[in-house]
Amino acid sequence: MSTQPTASHFINGKYVEDAAGEDIPVIYPATGEVIATLHAATPAIVDQALAAAKAAQSTWAGWSGTERGRVLRCAADIMRERNHDLSVLETYDTGKPYQETSVVDATSGADALEYFGGLAAAITGEHIQLGDDFVYTRREPLGVCVGIGAWNYPTQIACWKGAPALACGNTMVFKPSETTPLCALKVAEIMIEAGAPPGVYNVIQGYGAVGASLITDPRVDKVSLTGSVPTGKKVYAAAAEGVRHVTMELGGKSPLVIFDDADLENAVSGAILGNFYSSGQVCSNGTRVFVQKGIKEAFLTRLTERLSGVKMGDPQDPDVNFGPMVSERQRDIVEGFIAKGKEEGARLVTGGNGVDRPGFYLEPTVFADVTDEMTIATDEIFGPVMSVLDFDTEEEVLRRANATDFGLAAGVFTANLTRAHRMAAGFEAGTCYINTYNDAPVEAPFGGTKQSGVGRENSKAAIEHYSQIKGVYVRMGDLEAPF
């Protein structure tokens, strides 16, 4: 497969290049080799993309919901037909194993396109009777939306933002992370093949500065970011200048609480899924694993046994289940956290080392005896590093679980039904799990509280964030005035 795209950007239904833009080398994380070179958008490219999105918006909004939905559902079908090729590309872009990408990335993108395609025709206003008078509401699009993505799920993020935006009659300019610029271009190609008019979904490349220039452009009505909390604060502030709508899907340091009555095998599975899937590069990961003291050693023993099932290697090999970190930089950041964990006195149970092969591999790493104030328990690591903390009581663990500025996700494993729901109610987090972890079906809302974000992606809730209500008052009789 050629990993060099036809051109760097996809605007107004066509690939577009401007070689004057800064080089973006695309590095395959499994080998460190450069597999493509793209160019960051110049101001002329940014302008071209926004002009295309602006020009297409009113026509697209004029289509009926059924017509828009048909395009999105057709795009979903094409994505599913091409799942193999899209998954191979996602693996080149991110280094995540094909075993994961073939079942998660283009497939969840297709789910979003299908779901919002199905909802598009049902996006309606309401009628409010006021005696003889009445008010009706129109649910209208926001206009031109900018999507800015992180590097961990490039296809999924491009679809999670694009599908609800387009279903509501908006148009989009999407900027992927410069670390993983390849996959969103395929989403843009597919939209056109599925029948979207040119300009409805555009992709431009660039470093943070390109994202920043998009946010402040007067043609932009909404910004949806998936990224870290520091970037989120900058983007939120820049969007506020123009009083633009925002969705912020930011970072986390989520708690996963395991009570001693939990099914141990399931709890270990939850901890593995919530820490080591995608080599730990998942925003909602439950990286603070609180284990009730009575089962702590049994948990650590079983977890260590299960980690012998890790198979690292060429991520394109379908038997490989653990890939490299996305970049050398990210690997170095995570190694820094591992060193800090050792320095601050956490017990290294397993892992902690690089791997003697090319690429940015790191062993899955488990620390035990972690305390609340250690850096590995307070900071988002975004790598395969699990911190196991002990606890005694429900009240204590809930207080400690919530003692963070993040609030993205939280999970609990217990056999006690009422306790499970009490914990879910008590967690200060936008997305909670009972006896599972990290499921993210498109039907369910996804997003964070506190500093982990604003707004929700997926589910019917996303419609609220990509549309606005207009109220229209209709008087049926004569109108009186004081003079």
Q: Residue type for 19, please? A: A
Is 161 part of the annotated catalytic residue set?
A: yes
Cα separation, 372 vs 369, in Å, equals: 10
Of residues 49, 46, 40, the one with CA closest to residue 200: 49
Cα separation, 58 vs 367, in Å, equals: 54
Instruction: Give me 159's structure tokens.
Output: 């679809």
Neighbours of 260 (CB within 10 A): 16
Alpha-carbon torsion 116, 121, 124, 127, what sign?
negative
Neighbours of 12 (CB within 10 A): 19
Task: Return the H-helix or E-strand segment holding 462.
Answer: helix 461-465
**Contact with ligand NDP (CB under 6 A): which of 8, 57, 99, 152?**
152
Binding to ligand NDP by residue 327, rule CB under 6 A? no
Contact call for residues 311 and 322 (beta carbons, < 8 A)? yes
Describe the crossing of helices 98-119 and 83-94 by its angle, rounded to 10 degrees: 120
Residue 233 CB, shortest distance to ligand NDP, in Å, is: 9
**Contact with ligand NDP (CB under 6 A): which of 212, 264, 310, 461?**
212
Contact call for residues 114 and 160 (beta carbons, < 8 A)? no
Cα separation, 170 vs 188, in Å, equals: 15
Instruction: Single out the segment in contact with ligand NDP by CB under 6 A; choices: 250-258, 287-295, 298-306, 389-397.
Output: 250-258
Q: 387 or 414: whose CB is closer to ligand NDP?
A: 387
Active-site hit among 161, 175, 186, 222? 161
Residue 458 CB, shortest distance to ligand NDP, in Å, is: 10
Active-site hit among 283, 363, 380, 394? 283
Residues 377-436 that bind ligand NDP (CB under 6 A): 380, 382, 408
**Contact with ligand NDP (CB under 6 A): which of 250, 362, 368, 377?**
250
Active-site hit among 249, 335, 363, 380? 249
Binding to ligand NDP by residue 451, rule CB under 6 A? no
Binding to ligand NDP by residue 178, rule CB under 6 A? yes
**Contact with ligand NDP (CB under 6 A): which of 5, 29, 211, 270?**
211
Instruction: Single out the segment in contact with ligand NDP by CB under 6 A; choices: 71-79, 142-150, 162-170, 390-398.
Output: 142-150
Q: 73 or 244: whose CB is closer to ligand NDP?
A: 244
Task: Return the H-helix or E-strand segment holding 36.
Answer: strand 34-39
**What is the binding site for ligand NDP (CB under 6 A)?**
148-152, 175, 177-179, 207-208, 211-212, 215, 225-228, 231, 234-235, 249-252, 283, 380, 382, 408, 448, 453
Give the residue numbers annotated as catalytic, written as ranges: 161, 249, 283, 457
